[in-house]
Structure 1
Amino acid sequence: MASLVAGANAALTGENPGLDHVVVGLGWDAIPSRGPQAEIVPFAVMCDTSGEAVSNDHLVYFNQLVSADSSVTFVGDGDQEQIDVQFSLVPAEISKIIFFAHVDPEFRGQGTFASVRSAHIRVATADNRELVRFELSMSNVDTVTAMIFGELYRHREDWKFRALGQGYTSGLAGVAKDYGISL
């Protein structure tokens, strides 16, 4: 298992011949509170070569658990959230799949990642053998309302993972603008 730093990438299929199915786990620990806590909601966005979402049917989140092509699916909860990716089912026009989470203000009011003390994204095989892990830095997140954890992306015929940890103070709206998602 490789532990990555922000900006680093790791070959998945190139170093694991025959790998066609991965589980992407997103997790975090939040400080317990007597009052409302931030409700963190994960998303996966399937993007084309321009870096934008192909369509809103290519989003996977709590209201749309499976992508239109069934290649990306929310599954169990070994981490806070787990997302299955079947590489052979991902359409050729998809060049990357972005994994992020945002603080949903509709559940418990405005919030930020300030109450989150640790967060990670990991990529594992279908039998839960961890291939890579990225522990996100949770410093200076008092105004961060959305965070891109990492991405799977095509490189020639292979799939790779890139650790990102990019925070947004503009929440879901900022991510939607950057990736062409219509809300």
Structure 2
Amino acid sequence: MAINLSKGQKVDLTKSNPGLTNVIVGLGWDTNKYDGGQDFDLDSSVFLLNSSGKASSEADFVFYNNTIGAAGAVEHTGDNKTGEGDGDDEQVKVNLSTVPSSIERVTFAITIHDAETRGQNFGQVSNSYVRIVNGDTNEELIRYDLGEDFSIETAVVVGELYRHNNEWKFNAIGSGYQGGLGSLVKDFGLDA
């Protein structure tokens, strides 16, 4: 049975699941009906961060146009442009055992594509979540539902996998940003 987390909660991943190496990070969302006349396109992205909390290069920014990172240990499986249907809208596969030691945190974000132009924000998005699944057994291990109402934010850092004493843990962050993907990219040390 999956552990349901609240914002700010941290949980051990590999210590309580010995032998766990392959995980799937599933991200999901639904968009509310509104009269903006524009479709929503939410995107998941991954920032591979060093000990100072920064991405070392653009190669450490994994998303639908750069689907492989961390020397092949992190793989974004593709862009879902509608978010329709049940289950995960986008997924990222992570092989914990092959993530280079220079990467201490694998941070997951969801952004709204072209949000400012389209007049969209996370206040118009519901049922957002991130979940960690055992890639070998398909068992859901951790789930974090972002129940918060982000009324003006256009990007949300949902959570991160991080190393601690040679074990991997998960932190449910749920931190909203204005300025969309561009502000996240800058915060993580890359030029927009």
Q: TM-score, normalised by structure 2?
A: 0.88
* 1:127-171 alpha-carbon deviations (Å, 9 max, x no partner): 2201110000231x2210100010000001100000010000121
Structure 2: how far apart are the matches of 1:106 and 1:169? 10
On the 8 A contact 1:37/1:108 being kept in 2, the answer is no
Output the aligned Cα RMSD: 1.8
Q: What's 2:145 paired with?
A: 135
On the 8 A contact 2:48/2:70 being kept in 1, the answer is no
Using the TM superposition, give the Cα deviation of residue 178 of structure 1 relative to its aligned residue in structure 2, in angstroms. Answer: 1.5
Using the TM superposition, give the Cα deviation of residue 33 of structure 1 relative to its aligned residue in structure 2, in angstroms. Answer: 4.5
Which of the residues 68, 71, 78 maps onto 1:69? 71
Q: What's 1:10 paired with?
A: 11
SS in 1 for 2:38: coil
Using the TM superposition, give the Cα deviation of residue 37 of structure 1 relative to its aligned residue in structure 2, in angstroms. Answer: 3.0
Using the TM superposition, give the Cα deviation of residue 108 of structure 1 relative to its aligned residue in structure 2, in angstroms. Answer: 6.8
Which of the residues 178, 182, 186 maps onto 1:177? 186
Correspondence list, 1:51-70, <5 A: 51-67=53-69, 69-70=71-72
Structure 2: how far apart are the matches of 1:132 and 1:63? 27
Aligned-pair identity (%): 35
How many residue pairs match? The answer is 182
* 1:107-130 alpha-carbon deviations (Å, 9 max, x no partner): 973421121121000001012201
- In the alignment, does 2:162 pair up with 1:167? no
Unmatched 5+ stretches in structure 1:
none
On the 8 A contact 1:134/1:163 being kept in 2, the answer is yes
Structure 1: how far apart are the matches of 2:131 and 2:146? 11
**Which amino acid in 1 is paired with 2:123?**
A
For structure 1, which segment, 166-175 or 90-99, has the greater mean C-alpha deviation from structure 2 after superposition? 166-175
